[in-house]
Amino acid sequence: MTTPGGQADFQAHLARLRAHGLLRTVDRPINKDTELHPLVRWQFQGGLEESQRTAFLFTHVIDSSGRRYDIPVVVGAFAASAEIYALGMGVGVADIGAKWLAAMANPIAPVQVQSAPCHEVVVSGDALREPGCGIDRFPVPVSTPGYDAAPYLAATVVITQDPETGVRNMGTYRAALKASDRLGVRMATRVGGAGGYLHWQKYRDRGEPMPCAIIVGAGPAIVFTGPQKLPVGQDEMGVAGALAGAPIRVVKAKTVDLDVPADAEIVIEGLIATDLLEPEGPFGESHGHVALEDFNMSMQITAITCKREPVFASIISQVTPSESSVLKRVAYEPLFLGHLRDELRIKGILGVTMHEALTNIRPVIFLRFADETSREEVWRGLHGAASLQAQCGKIVIAVSEDIDPRNLDAIFWSIAYRSSPADDIQIMRERKVGHGPKSGRGKSDSGILIDATRKHAMPPLALPTQPYMERARALWEELDLPALSVRAPWHGYSLGDWDGAWERFAKRAVAGQWEDNGRETYARRRGGITPETPVREIERDD
């Protein structure tokens, strides 16, 4: 089904991408554990212009055991480029910000239906543990071969509900395959993080597990709401409806009391434990390093429902630029500009640019001002950008209108010749720690210009390790894809914080033996701790 302003159905969106020449189909065998993500990763690491990036549809997916899956996998269909994102929203790139602001101000409530395509196939109970009938039925890729401990659901819309108010939250959270009927789910606990975690805390206080539904493959308007930081208490399904231009059709889940998008490809229902947490990770994160093991949520799957012929959706994240960073950037930049210009009434502000390559857009922000803008307005803009969201604006730099914020040479030139550090630099102390690796960091941060060299051991660079990227590059060239212009770093490598257990997990993952990792972490579950507690801090004390 389609809507005036965008697609509520994922396969309709894919058809539109194909019609616009933005979907490549790969029919040859591709190993989901070792080749699939590294192959698509080359369009981000290979020096291609953003306009050359496309979505990839893989029709012959296998795993490391040689098993062939009857479900295709698509990667890059939501935000491989700003053009793809805009096509999913049904507007031009320049109108993305305005559509977001209008949707948040004028949500369209979802409409309930009694039957739905997402319920054409239903598997529940003991059947989930039969070989190839649970989550192991789906061709879930390993995102960062060489480091990840398991295949991960990455392009998710995770639905939870406040047990007191009934308000729904939709977030994009990673989920590790642990067993055919179990997932490890990570919801951010930091300030400005996950609304789902706030719900989990309430269920924990009530001594009850938290109902949860994980959507894989939905219309772009639904998926786009997941990574946005909308106000707590706002029904995000209503915002999604406004983005789509029509109410989102929802249906009652089969085994949990939640509404889910009726036209979704795949719905994973379950209960998240609130008494025990399970080690989760390592996993290549969007801050550009491998997230090491934390104790996180354990989800017991109660049902999996899907279309009769679903398409599995995945997303490229990890080191930026990536699909994940485009997904955020094209919405965050106009939202920040709208906040500064329309809410704070900053005079002279022309644009907001979030630096993407390696830094994950959020820590470094450039503000572009018209000539003759007063110093007072410039400083109001700098402070406004640094304080809008806790995880954004660690470094904010104002430049004049002749500087292209996407040209770092011009930025350095402007800093060198247009600023006096004694007068033109301020340090903001006691900032909240944002999204980033936990190794060696304290509980608070600051907004400062710093020496960016490595001072302590850090998790590995979150790219597939060299053998997998080299194999993927050979595949890229074999498929006669656009010529690459390789720039370092193009593969993952250790930065000192990596041990033998995580290496073992990663080797099992690419060999298709992720369930061995799940059995091992299941035995290490703990109670009485909060999510995202580093595993080694607890186990080292033992």
Distance CA 59, CA 138 (A): 13
Which H, E and C letters describe 17-41, residue by residue? HHHCCCEEEECCCEECCCCHHHHHH
Cis amide linkage into residue 321, ω under 30° from 0: yes
Distance CA 420, CA 454 (A): 26
DSSP 8-state secondary structure symbol assigned to residue 524 = T
Distance CA 263, CA 174 (A): 21
- C-alpha 250: how far from chain center: 23
Structure tokens at 232: 């707590």
Q: What does CATH list as the number for 325-447?
A: 3.40.1670.10
Q: Among 193, 200, 191, which residue's Cα sits nearest to residue 160?
A: 200
Residues ≥6 apart with Cβ < 8 Å to 358: 288, 319, 320
C-beta of residue 106 within 8 angstroms of C-beta of residue 343 = no
Which H, E and C letters describe 472-498, residue by residue? HHHHHHHCCCCCCCCCCCCCECCEECC
Residues ≥6 apart with Cβ < 8 Å to 363: 355, 392, 393, 394, 395, 434, 436
Q: Pick out the chain residues at pLDDT < 70.
A: 1-8, 190-193, 431-443, 448-458, 487-489, 542
pTM of this structure: 0.81
Residues ≥6 apart with Cβ < 8 Å to 455: 440
How high is the pLDDT of residue 190? Answer: 64
C-beta of residue 192 within 8 angstroms of C-beta of residue 390 = yes
The full set of domain ranges for the chain reads 2-318, 325-447
Cis amide linkage into residue 489, ω under 30° from 0: yes
Q: Among 406, 472, 361, 460, which residue's Cα sits nearest to residue 43?
A: 472
Sign of CA dihedral 359, 363, 364, 370: positive
Residue 84's Cβ-count burial label (10 Å; 0-12, 13-18, 19+) is buried
How high is the pLDDT of residue 453? Answer: 31
Q: Which amino acid is at 391?
A: Q
Q: Among 163, 14, 142, 138, which residue's Cα sits nearest to residue 76?
A: 14
How high is the pLDDT of residue 454? Answer: 42
**Can 2-318 and 325-447 be said to share one CATH topology?**
no
Which H, E and C letters describe 329-359, residue by residue? HHHHHHHHHHHHHHHCCCCCEEEEEECCCCC
DSSP 8-state secondary structure symbol assigned to residue 163 = T
CA distances from 519 to 108, 146, 178, 250 (A): 44, 20, 7, 35
CATH superfamily of the domain spanning 2-318:
Electron Transport, Fmn-binding Protein; Chain A (2.30.110.10)
- C-alpha 54: how far from chain center: 18
* Secondary structure class of 306 (helix, strand, coil): strand
How high is the pLDDT of residue 434? Answer: 62
Q: Among 100, 234, 107, which residue's Cα sits nearest to residue 169?
A: 234
* Angle CA 328–35–283, to nearest 5: 50
Structure tokens at 291: 């997230």
C-beta of residue 279 within 8 angstroms of C-beta of residue 521 = yes
C-beta of residue 318 within 8 angstroms of C-beta of residue 286 = yes
